[in-house]
A and B are shown apart, each in its own frame.
Chain A
Amino acid sequence: MSDKNKTSDDALNFKATELRLGLPGSESPERVDQRFLTLKNLCPVSGAKRVFSNAINGSNKWVFSPGSTTDVNSGSVPVKDHKPGVSVKEKKSSAAAPASKAQVVGWPPIRSFRKNTMASSQSQKQGGNTNPETEEKAKSGPETCLYVKVSMEGAPYLRKIDLKTYKSYVELSSALEKMFSCFTIGPFGSHRRCGRDGLNESRLTNLLSGSVYVVTYEDKDSDWMLVGDVPWEMFICSCKKLRIMKSS
């Protein structure tokens, strides 16, 4: 499996592998939202090649003009004729979950010091706290549910899962696979060929795209930890949020 030796036929298949906005299974518009440039680039080669060949054609002259570099498969440039603003808005209202919840590294541009200070400030406030997330964090033990947000690098919206419904990392892992398989390609069964039970909890391997995902969680101290190190019971007590990240 090599990204590098794609033929043009294979390049066409990349369309299927692209991240799209919209509900799982729905046909999403041609344009790929730029915001996920940071996180995806499932087809870096074909995308960059397109940019390149345009550049080479130009030699000294300026070849780029607004809209001329469109290549929807590259995912790197929006189609100019679309009113991107309108599309974004439409997508927002049609998606089941707000598209604005996508998490991007370093955005909005707030310094870690401020983020950490505000985070610990909010967890210190007990009464009068309207943030449902913090209320959930405070709950534990005999409560009936423990919902945490789950985000995935490159996905346009987050999900929520009830950690209480799972008894082990294995169950959590397969639930996450099912939930997020719409954002990667093909059947996830392929990853089981790795045959390592221990680590598979935290690694979801997408063999076809070559990306390996790692599941991490934010603990009570607001640190991001790798899922799987501590016993399950300890994990669900300290987990505030889950995040599925890409790791080569």
Chain B
Amino acid sequence: MDLRLPSKVLEHILSFVDSNEDRNSVSLVCKSWFETERRTRKRVFVRNCYAVTPEAVARRFPETRSLTLKGKPHFADYNLVPDGWGGYAWPWIEAMAAKCPSLDELRLKRMVVTDECLEKIAASFKDFKVLVLTSCEGFSTDGLAAIAVACSNLRELELRECIVEDLGGDWLSYFPETLTSLVSLDFSCLDSEVKLSDLERLVSRSPNLKSLKLNRAVSLDALGSLLRLAPQLVELGTGSFSDKLDQEAVSKLSQAFSEMKELKSLSGLWDVLPEYIPLLYSVCPGLTSLNLSYATVQMPDLVELLTRCSNLQKLWVMDLIEDKGLEVVASSCKELRELRVFPSGAEGLNDTNVAMTEQGLVSVSEGCPNLESVLYFCVQFTNAAMVTIARNRPNLTCFRLCVMEPFSPDHKTQQPLDEGFKAIVERCKDLQRLSVSGLLTNKAFEYIGTHGKKLRMLSIAFAGDSDLMLHHLLSGCESLNKLEIRDCPFGDTALLENAAKLETMRSLWMSSCCVSFGACKLLSQKMPKLNVEVIDEHPLETRPDSSPVERIYIYRTLAGPRLDMPEFVWTTQKNPEIGVSHLAIK
């Protein structure tokens, strides 16, 4: 008797299954379920663009509507990945254009996107709706014009911190008059001025516009008129907030802000002058997200603003807020979930004497019961502070502490910060992301390995004493998915002994460590399902097995070695001349 569900029924059932994790499980049940699932999956996430080929994805999920891709490793954000390494969007766009005509959403992060890519998108997908590019590079404003002119049902165009060749502000004028579907527009990373009249017309014919993030070149005056045209905005990124306005203009702007009853998120505020801070008071009570990380105002002005933000859930600010300001946050922003404090110093090393210490974070941890995500740049820290923070907030899921001076000990006891991080990993049982800094010995990593069972992403710099550190992490952290390490003194043994672990992780990045060339080759031979990329811009002419590599990037993949490696990336497949490893290590 055939007990198989008719595929139509299964399809219907699967239409209620949204989560890709569940869908992955569904696809493992049997062949027919695999087939039905793959034909009905609408959103595909590929978190390492080299883990699988574009053709394979396009073939498997022909009906997909949305594709999310990530390219370069995270440390590319800090210039640790040389230009030209890879992460090209083109092969993906080509493959999707050929096989997945229904694609209407593309979200790319840390990828190289060219104008050709954007033109291809514009030409290939009839109903293209959403383009979100985060930390991407390689395209110019001409490519944006191509998207603007062709995608007549465009809903979202967001450029988040991209590096764009800015050929001028004309691209905005390419949005046709018939385009009325815009919901979100973010061009905050562009330099050139767009024509205000084009922008105003675009905004006035976009009744569904909910999110608008302007670039710095949009003046304060222009902001006023835009807000009057779009009082329904939920998210606003202002332009530069420092032009001198006359009294009338100021009161008009104030009025415009007070009309914005839906506003939940505010950002931009570049160079905001203290006298303009009161303009924002009317929107503060409704804000759930506030990005002041480019607002160069001092603590008293920040405090005035923050005392009014009782519903704030996400706050990004610079260390100009000082401990005092964070105390105010602790008492006023009881709903706070995420806090990021960036350094204000010229080189990030705090030339200026700023009164922000570990105490600020301690206050917030005491006052904000929902605090779960922290990114904190500071000059000094103590173990006691971390112990207190951990005790106050066992619900932390993301803790990224950057003590900016490498090897800084606990500034009160001069001890390494091992005990502090121990408290964090021990108490915060749901911790998924951790970045450590300061003076750390192997003990810290022993603690992390022992307690960090839910840890998925770990970032380490200038830490540890020896290879043992890496061994603790790879053998202890069961959920480890991404590990990135720079300038730590370990090498081959831990890596080779825990080679199997690497197949359970998305990727491992190590730069300026002591991994030898021979170990890389050996690892590559032992583990065919990993791509082991040695990234060396200045290799020795003949490289003995014992020579250390500058960087190594290891990731699991079904696609085998990639075909687009530049000359400074070495793998045993691309460079068979480098030979096999002669290591005696098992």
Interface residues of A (CB under 8 A from B): 3-4, 33-35, 37-38, 41, 44-45, 47-49, 51-52, 54-56, 58-60, 62-69, 76-78, 80, 83-86, 88-89, 100-101, 103-115, 117-119, 121-122, 124-125, 130-131, 133, 246-248
Contacts and interface: CB of A to CB of B under 8 A. Distances in A.
A121 B273 CA distance: 13
Contacts of A37: 487, 489, 512-513
B271 interface: yes
Contacts of B377: 108, 110
Interface string B476-502: 000000000011010111100100000
Given A48-B548, A51-B491, A115-B348, A248 B538 contact: yes
Given A65-B468, A66-B465, A85-B407, A131 B351 contact: yes
A88 B414 CA distance: 10
Given A76-B489, A80-B465, A48 B516 contact: yes
A114 B409 CA distance: 27
Interface string B200-229: 000000000000000000000000000000
A44 B515 CA distance: 11
A124 B407 contact: no
A4 B544 contact: yes
Contacts of A62: 468, 471, 493, 497
Given A55-B585, A69-B466, A48 B491 contact: yes
Interface in B57-93: 75, 77-80
Most B-side CB within 10 Å, residue of A64, A67, A68, A110:
A64
B585 A85 contact: no
A224 B410 CA distance: 36
21 contacts: A4-B542, A44-B547, A48-B491, A51-B492, A51-B516, A62-B497, A65-B466, A65-B468, A84-B409, A84-B439, A85-B408, A86-B414, A88-B407, A89-B409, A89-B414, A101-B349, A108-B349, A111-B77, A113-B135, A118-B346, A124-B271
Contacts of A89: 409, 414
Given A76-B514, A101-B349, A110-B342, A85 B414 contact: yes
Interface of B: 75, 77-80, 135, 161, 163, 189, 270-271, 293-294, 296, 342-344, 346-349, 351-352, 377, 402, 404-410, 414-416, 435, 439, 441-442, 459, 461-462, 465-468, 471, 486-487, 489, 491-494, 497, 511-514, 516, 518, 538, 540, 542, 544, 546-548, 583-586
A51 B547 CA distance: 10
A188 B271 CA distance: 47
Contacts of A133: 346
Contacts of A130: 352
B294 A121 contact: yes
Contact of A34 (B468, B489, B516): B489
